[in-house]
Amino acid sequence: MYKNRLYLIENQTSLHVGSGDANFGIVDKEIQRDAITDYPTIHSSSLKGALKEYCTYRHNEEDSKNFLAYIFGDEENSGKVRFIDAHLLSVPMRSDTHPYYHCLSPKSIAQLIDFSDTFGIELSNKEALLKLTLYTGKDILVKEGTPIIEDKEATVDTNYDLSILEELVGSPIALVPNKEYERCLKDLPVIARNQLENGESKNLFYEEVLPRKSKFFTVISEPTYLHTEDTKKLENAFERFGNYLTDENTIHIGANASIGYGVCTFKEL
């Protein structure tokens, strides 16, 4: 049995968690994507690796080796914590009235509900969220006004309450039809990078990134079946680990830390 915790991850800078697949198109290095939705994702192995590196840096006490082994595992034993892929919840889209709107789709909200149900996590205002997953209109919905979002005029529909989305990801908020959302996610920013050797340009390549202020959700699970002699020690380790994730420090996820990519924050929902 596991105790499951739901976290929201927000990238404060551009994020590139590479897929590692060979690509012979215009973009040389693509980001990881979910096999079913094709939405950007962070695979559990990438997430675990980033958090292990962060905790190794943060934890410098005498028992750091034991602490890290409890959480992440070592050469002899697997870690006690279970990491799950992080799935996209919202992405910023440009507007003529604000720098950007936090945009969700009915599908991204449905995934959040599905995950919460699967892992036994209760979401507040679940019924209101479920109603938003049923939206099949062609218009982008906002709470007020008629802003232009990604070259399309948004509208207000009082049949759908978007306030609950503000509680999740912030304001201003917009609900984007699935097809429009998927179109925008296929056209993510691409940055030209130059590989240098001894100060000389050797290779120009193109790298796909997810824009800052995008938000993912993930589940991190703690076991509840511990041996009696380990219970107190492991519970302390889990509590410490949770505090590390949600303190005021940022956590780097993905590639290119030296140029400021992948600076993220975690929030428990």
Domain boundaries, the chain: 1-16+44-84+209-269, 92-187
Copy the structure tokens of residue 87.
């799935």
pLDDT tens per residue across span 172-225: 999 999 999 999 999 898 888 776 666 666 677 788 999 999 999 999 998 877
Compute the C-alpha angle 147/151/156, nearest 5°: 35
Nearest to 265 by CA among 11, 41, 7: 11
Domain 1-16+44-84+209-269 belongs in CATH node 2.40.30: yes
Copy the structure tokens of residue 171.
């304001």
* Amino acid found at 129: L
Q: So what's the pLDDT on residue 235?
A: 64
pLDDT tens per residue across span 110-161: 999 999 999 999 998 899 999 999 999 999 999 999 999 999 999 999 999 9
Residue that has been written with the tokens 């079913």 in this structure: 36
**How far is the C-alpha of 23 from the C-alpha of 171, rounded, in Å?**
36
**How far is the C-alpha of 177 from the C-alpha of 107, rounded, in Å?**
9
Interstrand relation of 173-175 and 101-104 (parallel, antiparallel or unpaired): parallel
Q: So what's the pLDDT on residue 32?
A: 93
* 106 or 57, higher pLDDT: 106
pLDDT tens per residue across span 80-115: 899 999 999 999 999 999 999 999 999 999 999 999
Strand blocks (E) in the chain = 2-11, 41-42, 82-83, 86-93, 101-104, 141-142, 148-149, 152-153, 173-175, 190-197, 200-208, 215-223, 251-252, 263-268
* Amino acid found at 160: Y
Q: DSSP secondary-structure letter at 33?
A: B
**For residue 229, pLDDT beyond 70:** no
What share of the chain in percent tops pLDDT 70?
87
Q: So what's the pLDDT on residue 231?
A: 62
Cβ atoms of 268 and 9 within 8 Å: the answer is: no
Q: So what's the pLDDT on residue 98?
A: 95
Q: DSSP secondary-structure letter at 110?
A: H
- CA 203, distance to chain mean position in Å, is 31
Cβ atoms of 42 and 89 within 8 Å: the answer is: no
Q: So what's the pLDDT on residue 24?
A: 46
Q: So what's the pLDDT on residue 18?
A: 85
pLDDT band of residue 247 (cuts 50, 70, 90) is confident
Distances (CA, A) of 73 to 49, 76, 80, 101, 243: 11, 8, 7, 40, 19
**Can you tell me the mean pLDDT for 244-255?**
89
Cβ atoms of 42 and 32 within 8 Å: the answer is: yes
